[in-house]
Structure 1
Amino acid sequence: MTIETTTPTALYLSRVRTELADLPAPELDEVIQEVADHLTELSNEFPTPPTLELFEARLGQPQQYADHLRSAAGYPPRPDDYGPTSRGTAALAWLVLSTMLTPLLLITWFALDFESSKAVFGLLAAGLVPAALSLFALRGHAPSVVTSTPLWRRNERRIRRLAEALPSSLRRDLMEIGQPVWWVGRGIMAGISLYGVLARTTDAPALLVAGVVGALVSIALGRLSQRNRYLLWLLIPLNSVAVLAVAILLIGGASAWAPDGYNFSGVHSNC
């Protein structure tokens, strides 16, 4: 049974997987498949679309449900050493650092050393070092262990309350339409910004091509990240860079446009 990665069913399932992450891979896959089938059947019994609260009310917290599965199948208790929750906390901390550090490094370059275009690649690499350390902190555990950390759960509850204030149709549209729109948007911004920084002043056709190529690459990475969640650990910091690129282009405003194209020196002078 295949479950979409953004549904409440998938979120509950990922947390159960996190709690059982110490089991041997073949046995873990078998248990998770059975749980996925059970959650799908259970969701069909609910009078309303399933939510995390409904699953938790029926089955208990993911940790409690995972402990029940362990007991029923005769598996040993979850280890008390540096386990999934601790690894998730460390991974989340490194990821937050990378997400903040990467755009800050580029802002520093933009403000102080605009003439050295090649420095962008070194700064991007430096900003992604904490993201690599975040992946190292996982060490064999799925990225979903982050969703079991207390910090994640506290903020998720806040976000969920805000989301529930929106009309259900709007929430659905944001999930189904917002994500691919963001993939295209970040790719266009990345393509234009990267090509523009390297070429300095570019003409409109070249920028258009760079934006299209960036969008195609971004869509491909987005699809890959749905199958391999480890890619998110690199894409999330790069998403913050894409947001920064939008801000830089907006700061430049109309004065950065010249008859022969977009003038990135004009953007820099406006900051």
Structure 2
Amino acid sequence: MNNVVKLVCLGAVMATSTISISANAGVIGVFGASTGNAVSIASAQGHTIEVISDFSNLGIYDVVWGLNGRNDAHSSQLSTYSAGIESYVMHGGVLMYHDRFVTSGENFIPGASNFSFTRNTSSNIDLAQASGVAGSSINDLTLDGGSSSNHGYVLESSIDQAYTAIFDNGVDGQLVDFSYEYGLGDVYYSSIPLDYYLGGANPVSFSTLYTPQVVDYSISLAQANNGFSPATVSEPESIAIFALSLLGLGARRFKKRV
């Protein structure tokens, strides 16, 4: 197999540390652990967010966000409603899943049946792309030093969908965070135990920098799927979202060729 690199460039806007980008307001449904803290952060960004009470009606959400707070299994909601969640993504929705367990993710996460998941806790998180998909406010040190910063990785060479590599664990090809296309929608997968950090644990950069950015990035994916403008420029010195490529900053996407 060879990797084919696809450059996504939808405009000609250049980013610097003084420019910030924020997604247009979206609608988010969240499930799992630390949902109250997740609601507070996303609401402060102007998004509408609620804890999901009806998994038969996921189509009302731009993004479905799962926070797995278990180290011994996947979220019960993900396993119980896996068919409905997969259908939601296939029809254009975005699933964002922050995963403590990691093991056997291929059995539960939409479109990931061939991915290789490995549970391996680490305190290191680096940008997976030299171009800095995560924006100027996050670098190779920003998310280091957690206990643990991540709980494992997906082997990049196993990904057989078009994807965007965002973070690795310091080893090339061992992805901690990435998004990929599935059907008409997208999945954002992360092995960061975000429920733990949303509860106030250090480093606070997980809740103050990472979380607002990943929320906006996922909303931007959903809005792009629906044909809406994915991002707007906001005030200087604020937070730049991961989806810089959506405004023409050239994030790389990859697709397998057999």
TM-score of the superposition, structure 1-length normalised? 0.25
The structure that is strand-richer by fraction is: 2
Question: Which protein has the larger Cα radius of gyration, Structure 1 or Structure 2?
Answer: 1
Structure with the bigger RCO (C-alpha within 8 Å, sep 6+) is 2
TM-score of the superposition, structure 2-length normalised? 0.26
